[in-house]
Copies of this chain bind each other. A is one copy, B any other.
Amino acid sequence: MRTIFAVLMLTVFVSFSAAQPQQLNLMPMPASVQMKTGQLVIDASFSVGVGGRSDARLQHVVELFLDSLRRQTGMPPLDMKVTDAAQARLVVHGERANKAAQELGEDESYALDVSPGGAKLDAATPLGIMRGLQTFLQLVQTTPDGFAVPALAIQDKPRFPWRGLMIDVGRHFIPLDVVKRNLDGMAAVKLNVFHWHLSDNQGFRVESKKFPKLQRMGSDGLYYTQDEVRDLIAYAWDRGIRVVPEFDMPGHSTAWFVGYPELASGPGPYQIERKWGIFDPAMDPTQERTYRFLDGFVGEMAKLFPDQYFHIGGDEVNGKQWDTNPNIQTFMRAHGLKNNQDLQAYFNTRVQKIVSKHGKTMVGWDEILRPELPKDIVVQSWRGQDSLAAAAKQGYRGLLSFGYYIDLMWPAARHYAVEPLSGAAANLSPEEKQRILGGEACMWSEYVSPENIDSRIWPRTAAIAERLWSAQDVTDVNSMYQRLQKISQWLDWLGLTHNSSYEAMLRRIAGSSDISALRTFADVVEPVKDYTREEIAAVEATSLSPLNRVIDAARPESATARRFANLVDALLAGRADPEAKPEIKAWLTRWRDNQMSLQPLENQSFLLKEIIPVSQDLSAVANTGLQALDYFDRGERAPEAWAAQEFALLEQAQKPKAQLLLMATPPVQKLVEASSGKKAPPPQK
């Protein structure tokens, strides 16, 4: 009786928006968290037992969990065993097995109850167990009394059933081990679909035994064997991740035509494309041999990839080869196809039948959506929620990728704010809303290599994962960033290199082991956003361009700049703590003086030269900020002439140089505006 009473007394109920759970390093935030008192210590004697139904898969899941836990805590493999459920410190209990191939919409819910004496994880399926174990790993902290998980009760389940990451391995080949560590990252933030963009103009990346010229002539030797594909699928399965292959057609397909020019709508021969962009080559939708080929190919791939869904791309056909091919024009007239959209729809209808014949459900980008297609297809939208809503109204299921293009170098907060059920989608009926399956972060790979891809995916993708898993009202950006920073370092345990490769790249750029000045600089710049990199490139980038410049090392989002901007905002809003102003000054002083350290290195490395003007800007901008603070300190209003001059300087500094954005500039502009009482003029084109 005393025990029960004590437990009741110690249990503190809080809603998940209360401060405490937000301070846990959890991402995505669970549906419900109740904090309790005390903690479960995790030491060498920690053990896991499987209660209820067990099978080889669940055993393996538990082993993988213990591997992760040991790595995180530095325990040897002899510690922390799997034991009988009766003795175990953590008991996992799954009710039933999952299907042989993971399916869309399988139950991923779990309940995790942690007390000082032990923990229980209950789920309907091994998938739910996996999700719960990842939560458990995130909860492990270093405490004064050892590693420990706080006592709490979590009830959790995902909001959307399709939470994906697409990696484009066509434009730059990404080796299998790099893909694998990113699957570990996905599992850690409860993403459940790996969308493998396997072919594009720049490369065809899977071995076909039926059509071996695809990889032999279309990949530069950079492709996955079928054994490797099976290995990757098994790896994903162990982590509760579906693998959806994409073979983009009828456009984005130059690499197919190198070996099989007869598939194309224009005369060959073809070469693997080295440039980036949208290109003319497209499959010939008017030839039966095209469909015979695709029947054979899709049949082969449908066997290789067990997932129910099969992505056929379908995006960005510019139609030029169709326009200039008289046979195709004749065919269109004969079949009443008014334009290229009609022709592509005809193609899609034929391909859909092939995909369906081989037992799969077709997925494609926005462009495939035409009423001719059956309602079971899935549309992946790069156009936005309104497009998604229109599809849902017509009865089609959809995925959002608009707003989740992580190659565009947006800050995490911008992706985080993209809500699948907003815009027109907010007004859908409940039944229509069900058709919005979720979304996918998209890692297009024009500017990624095995060295920097992790830093383009992580940690920002964790914010997208939270958007797709957590409740719609989990929108606190400050909380998100606080947790994101911690999760980012926690992801290091998985072998992801988003943090570690940064310094290695800076050392290469500096040609020196002393990177302090370069790091100070690189910490406060960001790559240009959207497609500006292409637009302002002095030399057109290709797949042969080295990705070893500062823009390739710089993080998509500067944590330093965010902190600095927040400090300035707080200062100007009068809500800064007393340490804010000295810290602002310290940053500005450091930036102003950094150029003195960086300038001499210019003669040391060709990779440094391009940033010297940006570093000079940083110095000047920081100097402006310090002057503005001086006016504050003296209680003077800054003279108008001074402000005008500084606004001109800031406008220049705002312009991308070396394809970099100087992120210190906007907050300094605010300082100048506040000190002078003048608004900066709108930027000149």
Residues of A within 8 A of B (CB): 44, 71-79, 141-146, 172-173, 220, 222, 274, 449, 451, 485-486, 489, 492-493, 500, 504-505, 507-513, 543-548, 552, 602-607, 609
Contact = CB atoms under 8 A, between A and B. Distances in A.
A513 B500 contact: no
Contacts of A602: 144
Contact of A505 (B74, B507, B512): B74
- A contact patch SS: loop
A17 to B, nearest CB: 24
A605 B143 contact: yes
B548 A75 contact: yes
11 contacts: A44-B544, A72-B508, A74-B548, A78-B544, A143-B606, A144-B604, A144-B606, A144-B609, A145-B606, A146-B606, A485-B513
A102 B607 CA distance: 41
A76 B507 contact: no
A402 to B, nearest CB: 29
Contacts of A513: 485-486, 489
A145 B142 CA distance: 48
Contact of A76 (B141, B500, B544): B544
A143 B511 contact: yes
B74 A552 contact: yes
A508 B70 CA distance: 12
A280 to B, nearest CB: 22
Nearest to A75: B546
Closest 5 CB pairs of A and B: A74-B548, A142-B511, A142-B605, A500-B500, A75-B546
Q: Which of A142, A493, A607 has the most CB of B within 10 A?
A: A142
Given A485-B513, A489-B507, A492-B504, A546 B144 contact: no
Contacts of A509: 142
A220 B489 contact: no
A63 to B, nearest CB: 10
A220 B142 contact: no
A157 to B, nearest CB: 30
Contact of A74 (B79, B141, B146, B508): B508
A492 B145 CA distance: 35
Given A77-B222, A142-B508, A144-B604, 10 more contacts: A44-B544, A74-B548, A76-B543, A142-B510, A142-B511, A143-B604, A146-B606, A486-B513, A489-B513, A500-B500
Contacts of A143: 511, 604-606
B504 A449 contact: no
A487 to B, nearest CB: 11
B605 A544 contact: no
Contacts of A146: 606
A597 to B, nearest CB: 15
A142 B44 contact: no
Contact of A73 (B173, B507, B508): B508
A144 B601 CA distance: 9
Q: Which of A449, A510, A602 has the most CB of B within 10 A?
A: A449
B451 A74 contact: yes
A607 B142 CA distance: 8
B44 A511 contact: no
Contacts of A510: 142
Nearest to A500: B500
A603 B511 contact: no
B451 A547 contact: no
Contact of A543 (B78, B274, B546): B78
B451 A173 contact: no
Contacts of A173: 77
A547 B76 contact: yes
B144 A605 contact: yes
Contacts of A74: 449, 451, 505, 508, 546-548, 552
A274 B76 CA distance: 12
A501 to B, nearest CB: 10
Contacts of A145: 606
Nearest to A147: B606
Contacts of A607: 142
A546 B79 contact: yes
Contacts of A72: 508
Nearest to A172: B76
Contacts of A545: 76
